[in-house]
Structure 1
Amino acid sequence: MKNNLNNMEGLDIYLSSMSQDDFKQKGMEVQPVNYKSMPLISWDIYMENYQNMLVASKKKMELSEVTTLAKKYQWQNDLNLVFSEHEYEAIIITDIKQNIIWVNEGFTKMTGYSQKFALNKTPNFLQGKETSIETKNRIRSKIMQNKPFKEIIINHKKDSTTYKCEVNIIPLYNKETTHFIALEKQVV
């Protein structure tokens, strides 16, 4: 395989060095591509911008999915404001009993657990021996107060490693609270 790869690289170099006349003389239909070289710094700037566009696009899709749920459950929250005010990697939406009804891809990247695994469970499965009982009690108490809050908790990934997680939990309501959204990110 390695030898074939070297041959293909050689062919690529050979073909890229050919002029239009060389292609015509050899009766080839393939047209050479004229690439303009770019300084490395331009590539870095391009890639950074491209990465930023991908992140923005993904966040827009996530907002769209959450907005679809908002229509279904008739939430009155200003979700555009919620998303613009909080940085996050993972999104978890639970029902009033804290059963997970939706998570984003960022949840899987952060925790190692799939969306399928997380559905219909409470976020308690992320907690373990390193999770502070005091923090768990504070979160439970704040949820009962039915007001937005921020807390930092130590959670456990699927591979049992721990991570410190900043959680912004916001009640989602129509006439009364029906669900909660948690916008989460790892912190050091």
Structure 2
Amino acid sequence: MKNSLSKMACLDLYLSKLSKEEYDAINLEEEDYKEKIMPLISWDVFEESKLKRLEAIERKTDIDIIKSFAKEHKWKNDLDLIFSKHDFDAIVITNRYQKIQWVNNGFTKMTGYSKKYAINKHPSFLQGKLTSDKTKESIRKHINANKPFKEVIINYKKDKTPYKCEISVFPLYNNKTTHFVALEREVV
């Protein structure tokens, strides 16, 4: 069944590219073709594949940007290891005073805030009344200890919708910690 669906989808594509004369020359029996016609499903597969490729390109671009920051600041972190072991939608880089220096497009998609708006703000601008004081304190302790950590915090989107955000934070260092990178994703 799957194979015949695939063949029909390919036939649909082929026939759609023919001129009227080429189509008429094939001389398909209309009744036979109508009985076998299937919905065009190959577009779903194509679009899903295209979306995955675009996401992979965007992810690689984000990582390359961070690697250029790493080169500039002479960070000694193994960024390839960090990015290979953690799922994320958004990336936030802060300086050692926790002021945002850079965010990726995933941050904008996840929160609704533009890159321009986020720059030079503290990530706490995403917090609100449901954000746990205990979680905020835990994050502060981990940052002050300069140790990597993972937390789930309730943040707020630009439209004031709360969401659970899993953050994996890593100090970025040369001889000392100069920045932090947070890999973030919305969780259920």
Both structures adopt the same fold (TM-score exceeding 0.5): yes
Q: 1:16 & 1:42 partners in 2: Cα distance?
A: 18
3-state SS in 1 of match to 2:20: coil
- Measured after TM superposition, the shift of residue 120 of structure 1 is 0.5
- Measured after TM superposition, the shift of residue 80 of structure 1 is 1.1
3-state SS in 2 of match to 1:40: coil
* Equivalence for 1:18: 20
2:79 pairs with 1:93: no
* Equivalence for 1:163: 163
Q: 1:38 to 1:170 in 2, by over 3 A?
A: farther
Q: 1:54 & 1:38 partners in 2: Cα distance?
A: 29
Structure 2: unaligned runs, 5 residues or longer? 1-16, 23-36
Structure 1 residues 39-78: aligned runs within 5 Å? 40-78=40-78
Q: 2:49 & 2:98 partners in 1: Cα distance?
A: 38
* Equivalence for 1:150: 150
Q: 1:38 & 1:52 partners in 2: Cα distance?
A: 26
Amino acid corresponding to residue 62 of structure 2 in structure 1: E
Amino acid corresponding to residue 55 of structure 1 in structure 2: E
Q: 1:18 & 1:166 partners in 2: Cα distance?
A: 56
- In the comparison of the two structures, how many residue pairs are matched? 160
- Measured after TM superposition, the shift of residue 182 of structure 1 is 0.2
TM-score, normalising length: structure 1? 0.79
* Equivalence for 1:23: none
Q: 2:157 & 2:176 partners in 1: Cα distance?
A: 33
Q: 1:40 to 1:125 in 2, by over 3 A?
A: same
- Measured after TM superposition, the shift of residue 40 of structure 1 is 3.4
Amino acid corresponding to residue 62 of structure 1 in structure 2: D
1:78-114 C-alpha deviation (Å, 9 max, x unpaired): 1111111111011000000000000000101111111
* Equivalence for 1:29: none
Q: 1:96 & 1:104 partners in 2: Cα distance?
A: 19
2:118 pairs with 1:118: yes
- Measured after TM superposition, the shift of residue 65 of structure 1 is 0.6
Q: 2:53 & 2:105 partners in 1: Cα distance?
A: 17
* Equivalence for 2:105: 105
Across the aligned residues of Structure 1 and Structure 2, the Cα RMSD in angstroms comes to 2.2
* Equivalence for 1:27: none
1:127-156 C-alpha deviation (Å, 9 max, x unpaired): 111100000000000111111100000001
- Measured after TM superposition, the shift of residue 45 of structure 1 is 2.5
- Measured after TM superposition, the shift of residue 51 of structure 1 is 1.4
TM-score, normalising length: structure 2? 0.79
Q: 1:57 to 1:38 in 2, by over 3 A?
A: farther
Structure 1: unaligned runs, 5 residues or longer? 1-14, 21-36
